[in-house]
Amino acid sequence: MTALWQDVIQALQETQPEKKCQLVNALYDGLLPTINFTEIEDFPIVTPEQDIAGFPDSPKLVAPKDVPKRAFSTDEGYAATLHAIAHIEFNAINLGLDAAWRFGRCAQQELGEGMAFIKDWLRVAREESTHFSLLNAHLNRLGYQYGDFEAHAGLWEMSQATAHDIWERMALVPRVLEARGLDATPLLQDKIHQRKDFAAVDILDIILRDEIGHVGIGNHWYHALSAKRGLDAMQCFSDLLQKYRIVIFKGVINTDARLQAGFTQYELDWIYEIEQTLKSHIKSQKESGQN
């Protein structure tokens, strides 16, 4: 096994957040520039049930509906909001590492671009490491730290649900879950600005800028894989939304950011119409079940 895979696996398995960030940063900044990627052939063989991602003992993970509601107007509620974002960023470190480790071989076999795929997702992990570190340091200045509040595992659960297929992973994690952050961030920044926490607003500027790139990476590989498999990217995406009963748009849509990330206006309009139908269908099912 090459040093690359040893370091990727070590970083992925690490449970302590600060140590995981150190390992990811050393991997991307130190090791990656020295590697001759044309010599790497020993892509890991990973089965869908394999999951080696390391997580700390805290925060305590609960179902999304059981995460306590805290008032943003209170100091504790505000810290809990920043903690929730930090939790997403920590999970996203593992997502980037897992995509490189799990699907590098698939990208090589299907597209002949395994190393380009791996470098993209290690870049994602490196940038998510920066996001987490900035947020956790800011929490520390407020008297809190990562692990102080309960959180949910929705993001990682989707990664596990798509562990069997690189195409589904690219469709549903960056293009759906991460893309939701593009919509939510400007609204959150407005609320934080009212608290005059300008340092936090600046951190979210960095996160929004980088997340546009991450969603763009997902869009690139999703469309490349769709084309290679002879799939209608838009229709099949709609099928996936229905299969997993996912709703993308939850309120305001950050059209500019989504366009920068590789969506087209036609695609956004089309998804919106599909979702209205899906929401209506889900609502009807619930009403029928209640009756």
**pLDDT tens, position by position, 69-83:** 889 999 999 999 999
**CA angle centred on 47, ends 45 and 52, rounded to 5°:** 90
Q: What is the mean pLDDT of the chain?
A: 92
Domain ranges across the chain: 3-288
Mean pLDDT, residues 163-179: 96
Least confident range from 105-109, 110-114, 278-282: namely 278-282
Q: Which residues contact 81 (CB under 8 A, 6 or more apart)?
A: 70, 72, 188
Q: Which two tokens stand for residue 282?
A: 């889900």
DSSP 148: S
Consecutive H or E run containing 200: helix 198-229
Helix axes 198-229, 179-194, angle to 10 degrees: 170
**Looking at this protein, which amino acid is placed at residue 274?**
I
Mean pLDDT, residues 80-106: 96
In contact, 170 and 228? CB cutoff 8 Å: no
Identify the pLDDT of residue 236.
Answer: 94
Q: Which residues contact 133 (CB under 8 A, 6 or more apart)?
A: 18, 21
CA distance 178 to 185: 11
Q: What is the DSSP string of 106-128?
A: HHHHHHS-HHHHHHHHHHHHHHH
Instruction: Evaluate if residue 279 carries a pLDDT over 90.
Output: no
- pTM for this one? 0.92
CA distance 239 to 230: 15
Identify the pLDDT of residue 1.
Answer: 55
**pLDDT tens, position by position, 152-167:** 988 899 999 999 999 9
Beta bridge partners of residue 61, listed in sequence order:
151
Q: How far is CA 71 from CA 89, 144, 186, in A?
A: 22, 16, 19
DSSP 247: -
Identify the pLDDT of residue 270.
Answer: 86
In contact, 103 and 77? CB cutoff 8 Å: no
Instruction: Evaluate if residue 204 carries a pLDDT over 90.
Output: yes
The whole-angstrom distance between residue 218's C-alpha and the CA centroid of its chain comes to 10
Identify the pLDDT of residue 287.
Answer: 76
DSSP 206: H
For residue 179, what pLDDT band results from cuts at 50, 70 and 90?
A: very high
